Structure 1
Amino acid sequence: MATVLISERVNKNNKSFVVYFRDPLSGKRKYYKTFKMRKDAAAEAARLRVMLDGREYAELAKIQKRHTPLTFNEVADLCRKEWDRRVATGELSSVTGEDYKIALRQLCRTFGDNLLMDITREMILEYRAQVAMDLSVITSNRRLFIFKQVLKRAYAESAVVEDVAAPINYLSEKKHERNKYLKPEKLDELLKACCKTKAKHYLVSMILLGAEHGCSKQEVLDLKWKDIDFDTDTIRFFRTKNGMERTMWLMPRTKYALLHWKKHVEYARHRRKIVPKDDSWVYGHLDGTPRSNFRSAWEKVRLLAGLKGFHFHDLRHTFASNLLTSGGDLKDVKVLLGHRDIRSTDRYAHLSGLRKQDRQVKLAGHYGQWMPSSENKGGLSDFGT
C-alpha cells in the first residue's frame, strides 16, 4: 500500500493539516495538499492512496503541478545566483552581497535540508529569539531579513502555499545600538598601532576615512579614485544602503594617507611589473581586483591598540561624536553621515550639549576662585550651620 502521511500544523490562531506522500518512483517524501479540517485531509489522503496504488501517476502530476516542494538549500541557491547577478549589474554592492551570503550560510546550517513548506512561523520565531539571545538582536534581525528573502523567493517558485515569514516583525534595536567612539588621543593610539603592522600602507587611510569622514566599511571598499579630487580637496561617497550621496572636504591627514597609499601601490606594481586589470579601485589588490574585506588586518590593529570589542563601524560613531563635541550640531551629523531621517541621528543627542563646553570653561574663569574646604578657617564653617 502507498505511504501517505498527515501532519498537523499548529499556528498562533488556527490549525492546518498537511498531506504528504512517498513518491513511488524516487522514494522521496513529497508535499500534496493542505487542509483546514482533519476530516478533509483524511478523505483526500484515502483518495491519494487509491491513486498511487492504481498507478494513476498522470492524474497525480496534474494535481501536483501547482506546487513544487523545494528544500531551504535549493531556494538558497536561487537567492545566491540572484544576488550575484545584482552585484554584477551594480544594483547591489559586493560587500552587501557577501554579507547576505554569510547570513544565508548560517541559516542553511540550521534549515538547509528542511522542505520549505514544513517550516512554520513558530520555528522562525524560535530561531529569531535564540540568535538574539546567543549573539545579538542586530544579528537576529539580519538573519530574519535573509530568511524573508528565501521565503519570498520560495513563494514565487510555488514551493510554499504561503509566506509565513512575511508578517514576522524585526526586534527593536534601540536598546542595542552601539555608541562606542574614540576621543582624539585614543584615535592617535590606534593609528600608531597601525603603523606597526604590514597593513599600515592602506589601513591608516581606511581608519581615517572612518574617523574623519564617517565612512562605513562598505563605503571604504567601494571608493574609487575618480571619487577623490586632490586638487580641490573633495571626496564623494555613495551609501548603497540608503541611496544617499555626499561630498565632503578632504581632511588633511586623510589626504596625506591616501596619497601615500596611492604612491605605494604605483611603486609596488612597477617593481613587480604588474599590469592591473582595473586600477580604478582605491583599495583594490595589486592585480586590480577589488578588495572584499580587511577583517584580519583590522583585528590585529585593534588588539595592538587594546580596543576590546571595538568594531570598524564604531569609527563612524567616532566621527559623529567628535563632530558634536567640537561644535557641530545634530543637523551637521545627519548631513555629513548621509542619514535620510533625523531619527537615525538621535542616538547622538546626548552628546550635543558638549559642544558648548568651551563656553562653560570661560564661564568658570569668570567666576571667583574661592572653594570651600574641610578646614574650619575659610572653609565650610563659613556657611554656618
Structure 2
Amino acid sequence: MAISKKQKTTIVAILVAGALATGAALFLKTGKGGSAHGDDHAHAGEHSHAEEHDDAGHHEEEKRASPGKIVLTPEQRAKTGVTVQVAGPAQVSSGVAFPGEIRFNEDRTAHVVPRLAGVVESVPANIGQQVGKGQVLAVIASSTLSDQRSELLAAQRRLELAQATHDREKKLWEGRISAEQDYLAARAALQEARIAVQNARQKLTAVGAATSATALNRYELRAPFDGMIVEKHISLGEAVAADTNVFTLSDLSSVWAEFVVSAKDLQRVRLGEKVEVRSTAFDGKAQGTVSYVGSLLGEQTRTAKARVTLTNPQGAWRPGLFVTVSVFGATVDVPVAVQAEAIQEVDGQTVVFLEAPDGFVMRAVRPGRANGSVVEIVGGLEAGARYAAANSFVLKAELGKSGVEHSH
C-alpha cells in the first residue's frame, strides 16, 4: 500500500519523539543510579567506622577485663628466670619476727692487756689482721719483767747450791761422819730452794712471759686464741700501763644475733626454739636456736635480751649488721601454701602472680602463718594453682613499667 507524504512525516515525528523520550528516561535513570551508588559507599564507610569503633571498644573492654596481666613471649619469660610452682598443702610453723643486730661472741672475744708496764719496742700486728694462737702481737721492754727474771735466775742458783749441800750432807750422815741434824737442815734448805724457783716461774707464767729470753726485759705480748684484731690501741715508743687495753681480739667464726623481746612475747621465745636469721642488707639467711633469754626485764624498756649463736665460717655475718630474727613455734599442716619469695606487695595489696597462657596474672591473696620459707594462704588462692615463685619481683617490676591499671 502506498504511504502518503503526510503519513511519512507523521511516522518520522513519532519516532523522533520516542527517541527523545527514551533518552530522557535513560538520563534520569543514570542520575538516580549514581546517587544510589554514592549512598551505598557512604553507608559502607559509616559501617566500616562503626566496626572500627566497636573493635576498639572491644579491645579496651578486654583490657579492663584483665587488670594486672603481664603478657610475655616464651623468649621473654625465659630471660626473666621466673620459675613456676604449684600451690598446695605444706607444713608451716607459726612464728614471730624481731629486729636484731649481729654482735661479737663475747665468749670468744678478748681485751688483750700487757699485764706489765713498759715501753713499746715493736708492734708487728695490725688491725683487721687474722692471727693465730701464740702469735706475737707486740714487744714491750719492761723493768718489772727484768726483776722477775732476775729473781728466777737467783732462785735457780740457790737451788743448785742447796742440792749440792744436801747431797754432801746426806753422804756424811750415811757414813756416820756428821750428825743427822745437819742432814735434815740441808734437806729443808733444798725444799725451800725448790719452792722459790717454782714461785718465780709461776710469776712469769702469770704474766705470759717466757722463763728465758735474749734480754731480761723483753716481753712478747701474744694472742690468746685464733681470731681477728678488731681494735688496736698501741703504737711504737708508747709507754703502756699493765692494765691498758691495747688490742681487742675476736674469733669471728662464731657470732651472736641479739634481739630484744617484749613481755608479751616472752612465752614465745624459749631456750632451744628454732629460729631463722635474715639479713636486711643482703640476701642471706641462717638457721639456729635460741641460746639465751634474759631472766630480767630492763627497768626503762621493759624488755628482755635474747640471742642466737651463729656459726660464721665465711665471715658474712659481720658485727653491727642489722638482721631479722624469726622465732618459730609448733609446726602445723595447712591446705594451701606458697613459697615466701612468691609474695609481693602491689599498691598496698599482698599478691602472687598466676601463670596464664600468654604470661602471668596478678592475684590478690590473704597470707596467714609463715616460717620464713613458706607462707600459708588463707584466701584468694586454691590448691593446684600454678604461681610464679623464684624471681617474681621481676613481674612486679614489669607491672609497674607497663602502666597497667591495678584492681583493688
TM range, normalised to the smaller chain?
under 0.3
State TM-score, norm by structure 2. Answer: 0.18
Q: Which has the higher helix share?
A: 1
Q: Which has the higher strand share?
A: 2
State TM-score, norm by structure 1. Answer: 0.19
Compare relative contact order (CA 8 Å, sep 6+) and give the higher one, 1 or 2.
Answer: 2
